[in-house]
Amino acid sequence: MAQAPGDFRERSLSAQDGLRLYYRDYGDPLSRGTPVVCLGGLTRNSKDFHGLAGRLSARRRVVCPDYRGRGRSARDSDWRNYAPRVILGDVVQLLAANNLHRVVVCGVSFGGLLAMGLAVAAPTALAGVILDDVGPEVEPAAGKRILDYVSRDRPQPDWAAAVTEIKARFPDLSYTTEAGWRGFAEATYRAGADGRLHFDWDVALAKPLMAGGNGARDHWPLYRALARLPVLAIRGGLSDVLSEATFARMAAEKPDLVQLTLPRVGHVPTLDEPESEHAIDEFLARIDG
């Protein structure tokens, strides 16, 4: 059944190991536009994409999953199952369960690395990739900072305190209104039984990455798997995760790479910036033909 733009269906599927995985499903599955699958950052969830998905769903289906251990997906009792290869397997299963045979993947940070992994694991499923502030190299200091932050819960007494904390930790996000900051906080925390707000992810998800050396790995072989695909890469000009040098090398290795830098934005662009919206719309129009 067709939906009004911005509406979504709440769905879930059972992973291969039986864990329940939640996702949002926007738009008309019969739309002619190439479907988009939105893959969020390491700890993020489908709420982050509500603005983007609502806007794109006027012309195409948009599917936004919560990875295991995040948002409304179930927590895993074994932290080893938070390894990227397991998450990638969940994404492949999501595509199969929804008959998504050819999609554009919009990958934010960690989600961009998963998009590169899909180019190896399920190459025929990709019509194109949007990389949001992520490349084949993550700056080591930024990787350590991120893992230190996400690996320990930091409860907040109320939403005002949560917004204040978010603003202090991520001052270079592109939100320009209090509503925007509040929305980001609501996608970061959930109310606990103790009456306080807790991170909306299982902090154990950091353990596999810590065991692998703070996530500092060479992903250039995965990036090269994107060689045949249209790719749009967006970078926050103030990003400490994706360096200018890596961004330049990405273009050198893939001359048809479409690049956009947002000068006054840090990690990560929200994709609701006017420049991002314009670049994404042009990119998708080219893929749709």
Q: Is 103 contained in some domain?
A: yes
Q: Is 28 contained in some domain?
A: yes
Q: Is 111 contained in some domain?
A: yes
How many angstroms separate the CA atoms of 78 and 94, rounded?
A: 21
Q: Residue 25 phi/psi, 5° resolution?
A: -125, 110
| Cα→Cα distances 115→39, 54, 111, Å | 8, 21, 6
Q: How confident is the model at residue 233 (pLDDT cuts 50, 70, 90)?
A: very high
Q: Is 137 contained in some domain?
A: yes
Q: Is 89 contained in some domain?
A: yes
Q: Is 159 contained in some domain?
A: no
Q: Are 129 and 144 in contact (CB under 8 A)?
A: no
Q: Residue 236 phi/psi, 5° resolution?
A: -75, 125
How many angstroms separate the CA atoms of 5 and 163, rounded?
A: 28
How many domains is the chain built from?
1
* Mean pLDDT to the nearest integer, 73-89: 97
Give the angle subtended at the CA of 130 by the CAs of 127 and 132, to the nearest 5°. 165
Q: Is 235 contained in some domain?
A: yes
* Mean pLDDT to the nearest integer, 260-274: 96
Between 1 and 160, the higher pLDDT residue: 160
Q: How confident is the model at residue 216 (pLDDT cuts 50, 70, 90)?
A: low
The boundaries of the domain holding residue 27 are 8-148+205-288
Q: How confident is the model at residue 217 (pLDDT cuts 50, 70, 90)?
A: confident
**pLDDT in the model for residue 1:** 47
Q: Does the pLDDT at position 227 exceed 50?
A: yes
Q: Is 74 contained in some domain?
A: yes
Q: How much is the mean pLDDT over the chain? A: 95
Between 281 and 214, the higher pLDDT residue: 281
Domain harbouring 52, CATH code: 3.40.50.1820
Between 255 and 7, the higher pLDDT residue: 255
Which of 1, 9, 61 has the alpha carbon at shortest distance from 36? Answer: 61
**200, HSE (Cβ side, Cα atoms, 13 Å):** 21
pTM above 0.85, yes or no: yes
**pLDDT in the model for residue 213:** 57
Which of 73, 122, 121, 130 has the alpha carbon at shortest distance from 100? Answer: 122
How many angstroms separate the CA atoms of 184 and 62, rounded?
A: 20
Looking only at the bridges linking them, the beta strands covering 20-26 and 8-14 are antiparallel
Model pLDDT for residues 126-160, shown as the tens digit of each residue: 999 999 999 999 999 999 999 999 999 999 999 99
